[in-house]
A = this chain, B = another copy of it.
Amino acid sequence: KSFIDVGPDSHFPIQNLPFGVFRPDSGSPARPGVAIGDHVLDLSAVASAGLFGGPILAGSDCFHQPNLNKFLALGRPAWREARTTLQKMLSSTEPVLRDNAELKKKSLFPMDKVEMVLPIAIGDYTDFFSSMHHAKNCGTMFRGPQDPIPQNWFHLPIAYHGRASSIVISGTNIIRPRGQGYPSGNSPPYFGPSLKLDFELEMAAVVGPGNELGKPIDVNNAADHIFGLVLMNDWSARDIQAWEYVPLGPFLGKSFGTTVSPWIVTLEALEAFACKAPEQEPKPLPYLAEKVSKNYDISLEVQIKPAGQKDSCIVTKSNFKNLYWTVTQQLAHHTINGCNLRPGDLLGTGTISGPEPESRGCLLELTWNGQNSLSLKGTSRKFLEDGDEVTITGLCKGDGYTVGFGACSGKVVPAPQ
């Protein structure tokens, strides 16, 4: 379908075309690109060559920026125009790029040679709590098996503000945080490197145009404010979190690092994998009631490569469609009080656990807060150890092609002395 080679297992066929930001080499300026097969197409080069001829993008400098925020602010008509232009340009029957050797040389880079950077400047990052299975497991552990899920959970997509400054791109090492944990008996609280470092399997929505303060976004228009999705690992220090979070929620147990995958897969590319969201009972209030309530069938997997080992082990398999609250409901809820969203804001889904024990999205659930060990080919873990590398992958299986997210990885390195 494209004149560029795309292997049968590639995450990046012409049906996908996810957006990211990269440097061709570490000295050169960051610029937007799309992934195609094993290559990255430089959108600044394509724009400079005058190949974005549509009414919105022809005069725009949105691809001559070090992040995608300006493009995101333009909204869905611009996103559609870019996708249409790029799908045409990359198709095997279209000569404009295919037969222009000089432009190909200037604009196509092997993916394994470029440096990916954070694709967006994130003004605010919000993390939701939208998997019922995750809420139930955590509630059972900490509140007991009667009524494990708080009453409010079924009425609103619970969320908290996260830390924007410490969001990092896949491949960045995660420094084990130090902090306080629960005191035992009458001694002072524990202080030192976290003893319960965890991952959280999440995805996150990247916000498009956003809204003015005081002007909520209708749930039925919310999809027009979501550019696409990324994979996210919301690293969590369970001991720090458990001690600090009453009454104002998670803080230092989360803010030491959050990893996102480099490629933003657009809602257009995901549309072929849309599926019905779960029935909600009780019925949501009118401002959360959607005419069409959509999830996406995205297979998710977490692998751990234990310190010092060569092989990775799959530790969980889940799916984006396990979410109870949709991303459009999350976004509508976020703005119902008038809160303004800005282009590039990030909305995490919360840990995406499924119904089966093998589909739990974090070690807290998988080892039941360290009560059990998870065996990993010749070793085992209750929580993460220094040197462990965690990789999240996600993909949608189409008919003869795959729309994938690539990987979201991070390796744990020791706390500072």
Q: A156-B244, A164-B123, A285-B189 are in contact. Are A178 and B336 (CB under 8 A)?
A: yes
**Cβ of A285: which chain B residues have Cβ within 8 Å of it?**
180, 188-189, 191
**Cβ of A282: which chain B residues have Cβ within 8 Å of it?**
188
Return A193 CB to nearest CB of chain B, in Å: 10
A343-361 CB contacts (< 8 Å) to partner B:
345
Among B183, B191, B237, B251, which residue has its beta carbon within 8 angstroms of that of A159? B251
Check if B214 sits within 8 Å of A255, measured CB to CB.
no
Q: A124-B163, A163-B161, A216-B416 are in contact. Are A337 and B252 (CB under 8 A)?
A: yes
Check if B165 sits within 8 Å of A180, measured CB to CB.
no
Expressed in whole angstroms, the Cα–Cα distance for A299 and B189 within the complex equals 35
**Cβ of A338: which chain B residues have Cβ within 8 Å of it?**
166, 175, 177-178, 256-257, 416
Return A351 CB to nearest CB of chain B, in Å: 12
Return A142 CB to nearest CB of chain B, in Å: 8
Among B247, B337, B341, B342, which residue has its beta carbon within 8 angstroms of that of A240? B337
Check if A249 sits within 8 Å of B252, measured CB to CB.
no
**Cβ of A188: which chain B residues have Cβ within 8 Å of it?**
155, 282, 285
Check if B213 sits within 8 Å of A257, measured CB to CB.
yes
Expressed in whole angstroms, the Cα–Cα distance for A345 and B166 within the complex equals 13
Which residue of B is nearest A138, CB measured? B247
A111-169 CB contacts (< 8 Å) to partner B:
123-124, 126, 129, 150, 152, 155-156, 158-166, 168
Number of copies: 2
Expressed in whole angstroms, the Cα–Cα distance for A336 and B237 within the complex equals 13
**Cβ of A49: which chain B residues have Cβ within 8 Å of it?**
none
Expressed in whole angstroms, the Cα–Cα distance for A188 and B183 within the complex equals 40
Expressed in whole angstroms, the Cα–Cα distance for A161 and B237 within the complex equals 16
A166-197 CB contacts (< 8 Å) to partner B:
166, 168, 175, 177-180, 183, 188-189, 191
Expressed in whole angstroms, the Cα–Cα distance for A199 and B338 within the complex equals 17
A314-351 CB contacts (< 8 Å) to partner B:
333-334, 336-342, 345
Check if B158 sits within 8 Å of A161, measured CB to CB.
no
Check if A178 sits within 8 Å of B337, measured CB to CB.
yes
Contact with B along A245-261 (1 / 0, CB 8 A): 11111111101110000
**Cβ of A342: which chain B residues have Cβ within 8 Å of it?**
165
A186-235 CB contacts (< 8 Å) to partner B:
188-189, 191, 213-216
**Cβ of A249: which chain B residues have Cβ within 8 Å of it?**
160, 245, 247-250
Which residue of B is nearest A257, CB measured? B213
**Cβ of A337: which chain B residues have Cβ within 8 Å of it?**
177-179, 237, 240, 252-253, 255-256
Among B189, B213, B247, which residue has its beta carbon within 8 angstroms of that of A245? B247
Check if A339 sits within 8 Å of B252, measured CB to CB.
yes
Return A281 CB to nearest CB of chain B, in Å: 12
Expressed in whole angstroms, the Cα–Cα distance for A339 and B254 within the complex equals 9
A243 lies within 8 A of chain B by Cβ: yes
Q: A150-B247, A152-B244, A244-B156 are in contact. Are A339 and B166 (CB under 8 A)?
A: yes
- Closest 9 pairs (CB-CB, A-B): A249-B249, A177-B337, A161-B161, A175-B214, A160-B248, A252-B337, A255-B339, A248-B249, A256-B337
- The 21 listed contacts between A and B (C-beta, < 8 Å) are A123-B165, A124-B164, A124-B165, A126-B251, A152-B246, A155-B180, A156-B244, A158-B248, A159-B251, A165-B213, A165-B342, A166-B213, A166-B339, A168-B213, A189-B285, A191-B286, A191-B287, A214-B416, A252-B339, A253-B337, A255-B339
